[in-house]
Amino acid sequence: MGPREPVYYGDYLQLDKLLDSQHPESKKVGSECHDEMLFILVHQVYELWFKQIIHELKSVYSTFGEESIEEKSLSTVVARLERVKKIQGLLLSQLEVMETMTPMDFLEFRDLLIPASGFQSVQFREIEILLGLGTKDRIAVDREYFLGRLSQPDREKLLKIEEQPSFLKLLEGWLERVPFTANKSFDFWKEYNKSVETMLSRDEKIIRGNEDHFGSKEMEGQLAYLGITRKTFESLFDEKIHNSLIEKKERKFSQKATLNALFILLYRDEPILNQPFNILTALMDIDENFTTWRYRHSMMAHRMLGTKIGTGGSSGHEYLKRAAENNRVFVDLYNLSTFLIPRSLLPVLPDSVKKELDFHFS
Ligand code: HEM
């Protein structure tokens, strides 16, 4: 390689292009509205951070696309997911900057933006699809908005991404391959079910013991709830019920993946399960952060628009609130808490399994 030209700050960052990319519509039609510059810049900063999030997710995605994943790659995955979480922190706090614009200042230029809308953020949709929220995963009313407001090339680009398995799918495949519960000499789930029975019988005893305190009607009610909990546990071990819940879109992961994820959560303290546990936790954090952002964004839209419709033609904050409630990816991981049991009741693992889960310096 020959001598290189000295790198110059503005050239390296292409600031000519970047800083010449803010062109308020209000200026084009007469007099510039002061706050439109803020509106443009905040959106642009979001799009830049979306680009970085996609960059991180794609790298995590390619790791999970491999047939087997080395332990050290898991540390990189955790580090990248942690970075996404930090960026999400910025995305959330940026809404405060946006909210320094008052609804009346917004009204000065809002009509000039119709029909443009956040619906057309291709990168936001790409993040959703990459994680596992494709067109089919939306409630019917959102499907029209999901890709419907996009230009043909943008729609085609996203549909192409949708053809690949989502990260949720790759994660499911990886969870299915977790080996530790398939030990011939030790039926882990039989032992686990014994512990569950101990826990539920204990709960039943406590409820019955409180009859004097609550009265028999209240006691019957509580026993009925306990019966529902029992059934939920049963549904986890009955593949037919589990699959019917998948069909009803109440569960996403296969039974095998679900059970293995539960095993990771239960035995998170075992060294080899520590990074997988960190990954599952980071994914729940990321899901939760997007949900929080969606809620905050819907509150902001309410504050700016009242009950007016959005520039993209949706019902405005009502639509956004519904999207916040429905558009979650890793709900199955949250629901696994239903099946956690106290550490004191965890089945003791035989030495042969324990050895596989351990690593130590000697
Ligand atoms: C004054 C500020 C804002 C208002 C009043 C507002 C309002 C809305 C409304 C009403 C929608 C629903 C679609 C529609 O009918 O247009 C929407 C969607 C959206 N907005 Fe905003 N928005 C604002 C700022 C932002 C910012 C700063 C971002 C950052 C990128 C953003 C990103 C999005 C996205 C991604 C969607 C699609 C959400 C989905 O379909 O789940 N918005 N916005």
Per DSSP, helices labelled H in the chain are 9-12, 15-18, 25-28, 36-65, 71-98, 103-110, 122-131, 140-148, 152-163, 167-177, 188-209, 211-214, 216-237, 239-247, 255-266, 271-305, 317-326, 331-335, 351-357
Do residues 146 and 125 touch, judged by C-beta distance below 8 A? yes
Burial 292-324 (b: 16+ CB within 10 A, else e): ebbebbbbbbbebbeeeebbbbbebbebbbbbb
Mean pLDDT of 262-282: 95
Chain position carrying tokens 């999901």: 146
At residue 136 the predicted structure's pLDDT band, cuts being 50, 70 and 90, is confident
Mean pLDDT of 269-281: 95
- The protein residue with its alpha carbon nearest to ligand 1, atom 5, reads 301
Q: What is the pLDDT of residue 107?
A: 96
- The protein residue with its alpha carbon nearest to ligand 1, atom 41, reads 323
- The protein residue with its alpha carbon nearest to ligand 1, atom 28, reads 43
- Quote the ligand 1 centre to 97 CA distance (angstroms): 15
Residue 301 CA: nearest ligand 1 atom is 5
Do residues 179 and 257 touch, judged by C-beta distance below 8 A? no
Q: What is the pLDDT of residue 187?
A: 85
At residue 128 the predicted structure's pLDDT band, cuts being 50, 70 and 90, is very high
**DSSP state, residue 113:** G
Give per-residue pLDDT as tens, 41-86: 999 999 999 999 999 999 999 999 988 888 889 999 999 999 999 9
Residue 125 CA: nearest ligand 1 atom is 35
Mean pLDDT of 178-192: 82
Across the chain, what does the average pLDDT equal?
Answer: 93
Give per-residue pLDDT as tens, 200-228: 999 999 999 988 888 888 999 999 999 99
**pTM attached to this predicted model:** 0.94
Q: What is the pLDDT of residue 360?
A: 67
Residue 319 CA: nearest ligand 1 atom is 12
- Quote the ligand 1 centre to 118 CA distance (angstroms): 4
Mean pLDDT of 284-303: 97
Q: What is the pLDDT of residue 205?
A: 94
- Quote the ligand 1 centre to 43 CA distance (angstroms): 10
Q: Tell me the three state secondary structure of residue 235.
A: helix
Is it the case that residue 362 has pLDDT exceeding 60? no
Separation between Cα atoms, residue 266 and residue 105, nearest integer Å: 53
Question: Which of these ranges, 13-17, 177-181, 232-236, 298-302, has the smallest mean pLDDT?
Answer: 177-181
At residue 272 the predicted structure's pLDDT band, cuts being 50, 70 and 90, is very high
Which amino acid is residue 358, in one-letter code?
A: D
Is it the case that residue 181 has pLDDT exceeding 80? no
Q: Record the tokens describing residue 58, joined without a space.
A: 């794609």
- The protein residue with its alpha carbon nearest to ligand 1, atom 40, reads 119
Residue 42 CA: nearest ligand 1 atom is 27
Ligand 1 first shell, C-beta below 6 A: 42-43, 46, 98, 106, 117-119, 121, 124, 145, 297, 300-301, 304-305, 310-314, 316, 319-320, 323
Q: Tell me the three state secondary structure of residue 72.
A: helix
Do residues 46 and 122 touch, judged by C-beta distance below 8 A? no
CATH number (3.40.980.10, 1.10.230.10, 2.60.40.10, 1.20.58.480) of 30-357 reads: 1.20.58.480
- Give percent above pLDDT 90 in the chain: 80
